Structures are given as structure tokens and as C-alpha cells.
């Protein structure tokens, strides 16, 4: 089997860490795992001596000393493009190679924050007020403020949750915030600020059942849950979250509904903020971090699921298809 990691986005280093943890954790007696680094300029198999061997993208194989190796499944650990936006899913589906993340359409839909939230609204899923801007559009700051208010968040629409995001307090800050977002994507989503408890909810298919993991409360040391808070330890992640029974039941029910409405499979981690007692969905991640410090593995541990079982289950589930 292959573990794909890296990718083309700003999150490639996090992905390499995730993929390495998967590689080191899987039981070698059960799985013959191969590390595949995927970058814009090369796709390579990295052997046990850290030597690189080119991947044949015609059939996703590697040939070493005239011996060709193919893979019966792929563990997807690529955050961002091309692993989280549908491209890799489509490629592997064409080659009839099963993989651990959701299908192509679900990946593309959830990676596009605007389209995902729009799809879920008719199902009663609450979200922040939003305003959309495409690269090249005329910017009407007054219209934006009238719709979403201040402060607000300016986010790259199709990018990982930690890059291309700014919190804007004043009208004069929009130009800089849009520059930051447009470095990551040509579409931007601007959302109203929701002031409340922020939680992250992992939902997975575990042993054939849709399973909501223990909820994590996010308490950022920074102004919001940015890259430094998420990956550099500048936050407190409290699992299980400090929620009332009613709050917990509401967000668990909604997170499961989102997973099932979207016809997800594999891993997912969705983010919510409570406003007026109701969870409001921010986004859905389909290839969440898999390092030992990452949120979803923390949640699995709280549920009594070891990393080895978590990763092994993902492989077994994808091989059922």
C-alpha cells in the first residue's frame, strides 16, 4: 500500500508530518507501507534509505531494479490540493485504486467553503453571514460591512483552513486582507465574526458505522485559530469539550448529519462556533492532520481508539469498497 503525502499547497510540511506518522504507526506485520511524496515537480517513492524513485503516473507504480511495484490501496495524507480537493480521488478512481478519504465529488465540494456551506443550508445547517469576492472584482467595502459587519473574517475560499485568513476590524484593513487571501486562491469568502465557544468534531466511519468522536474545544492564545495556534502550540485544545449536555447533543447530531448528507466516507473534521446556543458550521476538512498532536487523533484517543487502530481501520474500510 502507498501513503501519499506532501501536496502543492502551503500545508505540505504538515502533510509530510502526518504521512510520516501514519508510516511509523501502521503495523508492518499487516501492512507493507510505502511513502509517496507528491509535489508539483515530482512524484517519488521514498525508500527506507530515504532514496527517491520516480512514480510512473500512468499507472501509479514504481520500478526499482527492473521490478515493478503497484499498490492495492492508498492512504491519503495530503492536506490541500491535490489530495483534499478531488484531483487525487479522481485520478485514483480512474486507476481503480481504493483510497482512504472521501470520493472525488465530496472532496471538491467540501474544499470549496462557499459551495459546501450553500449545499448544507437547505438542510437546516446554520452558518455565519457571508459575502463572496472573486479575483478582479470591484471591492465595495461598505456593501461587505453592511452584509457581514465588523469584525469579520476574510478567507481564501479553496485552501486549507490555516492559510489566507485574516480578521478585519476596520474598513481600511480589507485591501491587505484580500491580498493575503488572494495569494492562496482566486476566490475569497468573507464571513461575519461569531463570538462563542469554538469546537472541532471528528466524524469517521469506524468498523462500518458512522462514528462521532469526542468533541474538542478550541481556545486560541491568538486572536483566532490561525496557523500558529493550530500547528505551533499557540492554543489549548480541550477534549472532551466543556459543553452542556444539550450543546454536546446538538453539535454531535449536526456533525453526523453533515457527514451523512454529504455522503462522506473516511475521515472528516468539522468546525463549529456556538452562537445563541446553536452550532454554526465554519468548514469541513476531509484530510485532517494525523500527527500525534493533531485534533482528530486526540479525539480518537479519548474514544479509546489507538493511532494504529485508527489508521488500520481507514485502510480496511477503503478495501471494502
**3-61 per-position pLDDT tens digit:** 999 999 888 999 999 999 999 999 999 999 999 999 999 999 999 999 999 999 999 99
DSSP string for 219-281? EESSSSS-HHHHHSS-EEEESS----HHHHHHHHHHHHHHHHHTT--SEEEEEEEEETTEEEE
Q: What are phi and psi of 86, to 5 degrees?
A: 105, -20
Helix (H) or strand (E) run with residue 56 in it: strand 52-56
Whether pLDDT at 224 is above 90: no
Cα angle 164, 166, 168; round to 5: 150
SS3 189: strand
d(CA 49, CA 181): 39
d(CA 91, CA 69): 18
Residue 305: pLDDT band with limits 50, 70, 90: very high
Residue 226: pLDDT band with limits 50, 70, 90: very low
Whether pLDDT at 225 is above 70: no
Tell me what pLDDT residue 220 has. Answer: 72
Q: What is the mean pLDDT of residues 165-174?
A: 94
Q: What are phi and psi of 90, to 5 degrees?
A: -65, -45
Tell me what pLDDT residue 40 has. Answer: 96
b/e map 7-25, b = 16+ CB within 10 Å: bbbbbbebbbbbbbbbbeb
Tell me what pLDDT residue 42 has. Answer: 97
Residue 164: pLDDT band with limits 50, 70, 90: confident
Tell me what pLDDT residue 159 has. Answer: 77
Amino acid at each position: 500500500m502507498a501513503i501519499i503525502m506532501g501536496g502543492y499547497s502551503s500545508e505540505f510540511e504538515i502533510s509530510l508530518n502526518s504521512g510520516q506518522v501514519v508510516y511509523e504507526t501502521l503495523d508492518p506485520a499487516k501492512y507493507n507501507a510505502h511513502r509517496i511524496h507528491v509535489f508539483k515537480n515530482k512524484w517519488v517513492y521514498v525508500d527506507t534509505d530515504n532514496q527517491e524513485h520516480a512514480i510512473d503516473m500512468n499507472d501509479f507504480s514504481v520500478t526499482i531494479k527492473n521490478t515493478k511495484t503497484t499498490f492495492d490501496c492508498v492512504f491519503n495524507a495530503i492536506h490541500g490540493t491535490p489530495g483534499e480537493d478531488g484531483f487525487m480521488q479522481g485520478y485514483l478512481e480512474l486507476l481503480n485504486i481504493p483510497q482512504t478519504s472521501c470520493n472525488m465529488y465530496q472532496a471538491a465540494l467540501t474544499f470549496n467553503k462557499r459551495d459546501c456551506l450553500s449545499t448544507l443550508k437547505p438542510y437546516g445547517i446554520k452558518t455565519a453571514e457571508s459575502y463572496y469576492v472573486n479575483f478582479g472584482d470591484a471591492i465595495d467595502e461598505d456593501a461587505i460591512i453592511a452584509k457581514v459587519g465588523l469584525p469579520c473574517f476574510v478567507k481564501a475560499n479553496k485552501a486549507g483552513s490555516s492559510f489566507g485568513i485574516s480578521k478585519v476590524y476596520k474598513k481600511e484593513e480589507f485591501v491587505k486582507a484580500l491580498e493575503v487571501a488572494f495569494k492562496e486562491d482566486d476566490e475569497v469568502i468573507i464571513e461575519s465574526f461569531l463570538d462563542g465557544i469554538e469546537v472541532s468534531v471528528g466524524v469517521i466511519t469506524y468498523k462500518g458505522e458512522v462514528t462521532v468522536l469526542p468533541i474538542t474545544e478550541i481556545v486560541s492564545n491568538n486572536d483566532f485559530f490561525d496557523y500558529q495556534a493550530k500547528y505551533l502550540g499557540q492554543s489549548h485544545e480541550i477534549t472532551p469539550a466543556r459543553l452542556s449536555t444539550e450543546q454536546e447533543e446538538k453539535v454531535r447530531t449536526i456533525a453526523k448529519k453533515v457527514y451523512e448528507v454529504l455522503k462522506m466516507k473516511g475521515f472528516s473534521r468539522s468546525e463549529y462556533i456556538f452562537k445563541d446556543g446553536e452550532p454554526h458550521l465554519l468548514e469541513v476538512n476531509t484530510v485532517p492532520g494525523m500527527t500525534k498532536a493533531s485534533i482528530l487523533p486526540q479525539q480518537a484517543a479519548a474514544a479509546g481508539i489507538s493511532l494504529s487502530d485508527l489508521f488500520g481501520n481507514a485502510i480496511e474500510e477503503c478495501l471494502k469498497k
